[in-house]
Amino acid sequence: MYSKWVVVADSSRARFFFYEGKKEPLRELEDLVHAEGKLKTQDVVSDQQGGRGNGAHSFEPVTDVKQQEAIRFAQQIGDKLEQGRVKNKYNDLVLIAAPAFLGTLRQTLNDQIMKLVGKSIDKNLVAQDESNIRSYL
């Protein structure tokens, strides 16, 4: 049986849809929110960074915290997609994501999921309504 999932995401939210056809509305399956993706870097970095110390190495550069959170969320999306793939919930996948997040998401998906990606769209549509998202399919 042919079934298509559409994932619309950015670094703080991912919406999973079931696509039944051009004339049918998308059916939303799940809406994941990653609140940490909306935080500003200074809200996430601890006060210990750059603190006083006795030596030349008292300050160590912080890896990009927002990027680490984006990777963590992309992995969470990948886990949901892997669960769906293993349970044969879909056999075609469309990824629609903010341009900066789409590459991160692709890097976290395994080869089996990537083989099912029929289309990728680099657009931030996560806040759009169902009919506007469907117009891109």
pLDDT digits (tens, 9 = 90+) for 68-98: 899 999 999 999 999 999 999 999 999 999 9
User: What is the reported pLDDT for 61?
Assistant: 44
E-strand stretches of the chain: 4-9, 13-19, 27-33, 92-97, 117-122
d(CA 137, CA 117): 13
pLDDT over 80 (residue 27): yes
Sheet of 27-33: strand order equals 27-33, 13-19, 4-9, 92-97, 117-122
Which domains does the chain possess?
A: 4-39+63-134 (3.30.420.60)
Contact 120/8 with Cβ under 8 angstroms? no
pLDDT over 80 (residue 135): yes
Give the distance from CA 24 to its chain's centroid.
Answer: 25
Q: What is the pTM of this model?
A: 0.79
Max distance between CA atoms of the chain, in angstroms, equals 67
User: What is the reported pLDDT for 79?
Assistant: 97
For the chain, give the percent of residues with pLDDT over 90.
66
Angle at 106 between CA 13 and CA 108, to 5 degrees: 85
Q: H/E/C letters for each residue in 51-90?
A: CCCCCCCCCCCCCCHHHHHHHHHHHHHHHHHHHHHHCCCC
